[in-house]
Structure 1
Amino acid sequence: MGAGQMDRYTPVFAITQAAELSDMHPQTLRQYDRIGLVSPQRTSGNTRRYSLHDVEQLREVARLSAEGLSLEGIRRVLQLENRVRELQARVRELERALSDELLSRPERRVFAAGAAGEVISMRRGARMRRSAEVVVWRPEL
């Protein structure tokens, strides 16, 4: 992202705006920051600045609290959800890297399915030898 561009993690909301957007009292946001539940970024003057992501997290805290979860339970749920998002992003990154690597190789391989369902790696342009075997499948009754 270039200079001046914003995303959902850009800290733009003061505490009063974030409290209004999350339908909470500013003191509640301060408490959540103190206990590490939702911790906004700080400006050079040490004032809190909330991002859209922080506001979404505050709404999630309110929802989970209304469902009866303790603050510690909510903290754990948020940690796990954040970790899942990180891992999903990493998987997408690795999938792109793998795809780029496979496409950049002139000797890339072709894969086929064997008679027993196994994956067989073949050289590009090669053909599978056909088998005259007949496989009968009978479902278990």
Structure 2
Amino acid sequence: MHHYDEPVYLISIVAKILDIHPQTLRQYERENLICPSRSDGRIRLYSQRDIDKIKLILRLTRELGVNLAGVDIILRMKESVDLMEKEIAELRHQLQVAKESPTVSPDKALVTKKSIYEMIIFEQK
């Protein structure tokens, strides 16, 4: 079994799997929608992640009627949202760790807002 990001599929195999012409894949690459890896002999190699991304592109163009410029915008927005969701998950984890910690680390100050005008500030001694 191959890793999700491992480039193992030739363009002809991907075209056959997705029932599209290899030129479609080349056009997606020219439009910078996909970026397959290359072998030492410059042969395009696609990973399962690439195939899933192409499936998304095909769904957007075929089922939703989005043009390639729109697909590019959607893919960039999706990438931004994915990064933000990852960052939010990391921050939530850090917050949970801080809440479960019985003390405040010496290099940090804990500030809790009780109301508009009151704060509790722990200072390092």
TM-score scaled to structure 1, two decimals?
0.64
1:11-26 alignment runs, 5 A limit: 11-26=7-22
Give the paired residue count.
116
For residue 60 of structure 2, what is the aligned residue in structure 1? 64
Cα deviations by residue, 1:4-62 (Å, 9 ceiling, x for unpaired): x72x3332222122222322111210111122111212233322121222111111111
Residues 94 and 35 of structure 1: CA distance in aligned 2, closer, same or farther (over 3 Å): same
Q: Answer with 1 or 2: which has the greater Rg.
A: 1
Percent identity of equivalent pairs? 30
Q: Give, in whole Å, the separation in 1 of the partners of 2:104 and 2:87.
A: 27
Q: Give, in whole Å, the separation in 2 of the partners of 1:9 and 1:58.
A: 14
Gaps of 5+ in 1: 115-119, 124-141
1:1-141 alignment runs, 5 A limit: 6=3, 8-66=4-62, 67-107=64-104
Q: Give, in whole Å, the separation in 1 of the partners of 2:91 and 2:104.
A: 21
Q: Give, in whole Å, the separation in 2 of the partners of 1:61 and 1:100.
A: 39
Higher share in helix? 2
Q: Which amino acid aligns with 2:6?
A: T
Q: Give, in whole Å, the separation in 2 of the partners of 1:49 and 1:103.
A: 46
Gaps of 5+ in 2: none
TM-score scaled to structure 2, two decimals?
0.70
Q: Give, in whole Å, the separation in 1 of the partners of 2:101 and 2:38.
A: 44
Residues 75 and 96 of structure 1: CA distance in aligned 2, closer, same or farther (over 3 Å): same
Q: Give, in whole Å, the separation in 2 of the partners of 1:27 and 1:94.
A: 43
SS in 2 for 1:38: coil
RMSD: 3.2
Once the 2 structures are TM-superposed, how far is the Cα of residue 81 of structure 1 from its aligned partner? 1.1
Q: Which amino acid aligns with 1:94?
A: L
Structure with more contact order per residue of length (Cα contacts < 8 Å, sep ≥ 6): 2
